Amino acid sequence: MQSLPIEPISQASANPRNGRCGRVEEGTCIWLYSEEDFNSRPELTDPEILRTNLASAILQMTSLGLGGI
């Protein structure tokens, strides 16, 4: 079963979101965390391949006989 967990985003993900809020029309970005919390977050997001559970993909590949795992 796959899920979408709620987790903190990196600074690199937060900054563009802030920029998009006023791109078309005047807007306000409201961050639901403190500046201290923001500064404690990692600058960059780990690559998805390192964050994703690959068990399902590996089982599907094995059942289809795709490559040696």
Is the pTM here over 0.85, yes or no?
Answer: no
Query: What's the pLDDT at 40?
Result: 95
Which residue numbers in the chain have pLDDT < 70?
69
Domain assignment present for residue 39? The answer is: yes
Domain assignment present for residue 3? The answer is: no
Domain assignment present for residue 69? The answer is: no
Query: What's the pLDDT at 31?
Result: 87
Domain assignment present for residue 30? The answer is: yes
Residue 35: which domain range? Answer: 11-63
Helical H runs in 1-69?
Answer: 11-20, 35-40, 48-51, 55-63
The total of structural domains in the chain comes to: 1
Domain assignment present for residue 68? The answer is: no
Query: What's the pLDDT at 23?
Result: 83
